[in-house]
Structure 1
């Protein structure tokens, strides 16, 4: 349904560094990169893209969820996101209240956005 999402970051450089490192385990790459007011675009292979740009305002917090191919990618995202300066908001593990195979991890990004990576596959 969606092609791309665009949202602002008041701490653009810190957010850019965070997203590049945290989403690296998912195979996300920067496609176009422009001035901070235009931003940069992250896109996994032939999937929805995410564009981040500099804003002078503190953005409302978003809950962004990315799909992992396997649970190892969820674990790798969590470690990479923490190493990139994210704050723990839910360690990797099953979330059976959603469904039996919902394996996810959540991290708070520099601008306060809740970033989640989920795998719906069986172990």
Structure 2
């Protein structure tokens, strides 16, 4: 249903390093850097698997209160996301595990990114 989304970040380089690591663990990568002549001089990049679907934008109003969940193909991918996020400076908000109170096969991991956004990887497959 959602084609793409994005967030504002306070420290672009710190956020980019965090998402370079975490997106790779989910099979995604940096796919596009928008030329600054189109962004008013701000850094803007897009991550995705087959097209840019998650965007970081320098400046604006970053911070807590935002929750974004990324799909993972399997539970090992959720585990890899969590490990990469923690190694890249993320803060724990829920280690990988089953969340049966959400759904029987809901396996997820939650971290806070450098701006305090609640970022999640989730797999709905039984394994």
TM-score w.r.t. structure 1 length? 0.91
How far apart, in 2, do the equivalents of 1:119 and 1:7 lie?
Answer: 23
SS at match of 2:46: strand
1:24 is matched with 24
Q: Do the aligned partners of 2:12 and 2:43 also contact (CA within 8 Å) in 1?
A: no
Aligned to 2:48: 43
What's the C-alpha RMSD, in Å, of the aligned pairs?
Answer: 1.7
Q: Distance in 2 between matches of 1:91 and 1:51?
A: 25
Q: 1:15 maps to what in 2?
A: 15
Q: Supply the distance in 2 between the matched residues of 1:45 and 1:27 (Cα, whole angstroms).
A: 10
1:120 is the counterpart of 2:124: yes
Report which stretch shifted further, 67-76 or 34-43.
Answer: 34-43
Gaps of 5+ in 1: none
Offset of 1:11 from its aligned partner?
Answer: 1.3
4+ long deviations beyond 6 Å: none
Report the 3-state secondary structure (helix = DSSP H, G, I; strand = E; otherwise coil) of the residue aligned with 2:17: helix
Number of aligned positions between the proteins: 122
What is the deviation of 1:24?
A: 0.8
